[in-house]
Structure formats: C-alpha cells, structure tokens
Structure 1
Amino acid sequence: MTKKRASNEARSPDGSMCECNPCSAYNVEAILNIDERGQMVLPKEVREKAGIKTGTKLALISWEKEGSICCLALIKAEDLSGMVKEVLEPLIHKGD
C-alpha cells in the first residue's frame, strides 16, 4: 500500500518530507537552562540538525493538564500551518 502524501506536510532541513506525528519516536536532544531574563540557548548541534538559523521563527506550542501547562514544543513557524491539523488534532481528540 502506498502512503498518500498530503500537500500540507512539512519538509525536513534536507528538503525531504517530514514524517513526524504524535505517535512517532522522540529524542531528548538537550536539557536547557532558563536564565534570569527567561532566555534559553538551543545547542548548536540541535540548531544545525533542525536547520534553525538566525532569523528562523519558532512557534511555541503548549499542552495543558488540569489548568497548568505540562508540555511545550517548538515548531518552525513556516511549517506550523501545514502541521496544525495533522499533528495537533489527534492530541486534542485523544480522550474522546
């Protein structure tokens, strides 16, 4: 069976189609420290691997549990519009 590609799929830094989804494997890439100004640094290796350069805009996505934010994710803003429905909708409807 051939997997049908949606026109709104995101692309990886190398230009290939991004296959990530809420059920895919994940990696802990780094542990970040927040400084007194609320800033953090993404390690160079992570930025290079993700294709994040100066001026790249990232969307901060949060998930709430019992009124508090429990999880945060960063998604390139340019990829967000195409990923919202495919990535976030299953998480929203998971408990239905």
Structure 2
Amino acid sequence: MAKTKSDRDSSDSFQCDCGPKTTCKVESILTIDDRGQMVLPKDVRDRANIKSGDKLALISWEKEGSICCFALMKVENLSGMISDVLSPLMNNTGA
C-alpha cells in the first residue's frame, strides 16, 4: 500500500512501494547546462522528500552500447530495489 504525503512527512524511513502495477509519468522537462547540471523542480523535490545533501543514484538502461533510459532514486531506497530485482533471479538459479 502506498504511503500518503503525511506519512512521508512524518518519517525519514519512507520506502518506495513502486512495482509492476505502478504508473510512470513525465514530471517535468529538465535542461542540462554546459556543466552537466540540472535542477529538479521544487514541487518534485517536495513530493519525493528530497532535501539538500541527499544522495541520488543514477540508474541506466543500455541498448546496443548506448544508454537509452535512466532514472534517479534516493540511495536509501536502492538496497530495497536491488533486493527485489535480485531475489527472483536467485530463486530461479537454484542458489
């Protein structure tokens, strides 16, 4: 069950509930400057509970030797995602 905004605001231990039945949408269009920097809009930072100093992981997908897609994820949520992805793979190998 997804947590509400009030749940996220009251706890720093918010865990993402993303999964196969969640939806993706374009939040905004970002411009990259000459130094490779971009700005996440304040409303997106607020809803994602991203604060100054937080670390984000850049996750990429590669196709035919080039990165075709990427996503940002808070580092503290990364271990859960890795576990969710690797667990089915480990179960299928008989390990």
| Normalised TM-score (structure 2) | 0.72
Residue ranges of structure 1 left out of the alignment (5+ in a row): 4-11
Which of 53, 60, 63 lines up with 1:62 in the alignment? 60
Distance 1:19 1:75 in 2: 13
| Residue of structure 1 equivalent to 2:92 | none
| Normalised TM-score (structure 1) | 0.71
Q: Kindly report structure 1 stretches of 4+ aligned residues shifted beyond 6 Å.
A: none
User: What is the percentage of aligned positions where both structures have the same residue?
Assistant: 58
Structure of higher RCO (CA pairs closer than 8 Å, 6+ residues apart): 1
Tell which structure's C-alpha radius of gyration is larger: 2
Alignment size in residue pairs: 80
Residues 35, 17 of structure 1: alpha-carbon distance in 2 compared, 3 angstrom cutoff: closer
Task: Identify the structure with the greater helix proportion.
Answer: 2
Q: What is the CA-CA distance between 1:18 and the residue it aligns to?
A: 2.7
Equivalences for residues 1-80 of structure 1 within 5 A = 14=8, 15=11, 17-80=15-78
Measured on the aligned residues, the alpha-carbon RMSD in Å equals: 2.6
Distance 1:22 1:85 in 2: 15
Q: What is the CA-CA distance between 1:23 and the residue it aligns to?
A: 4.8
Q: What is the CA-CA distance between 1:85 and the residue it aligns to?
A: 3.0
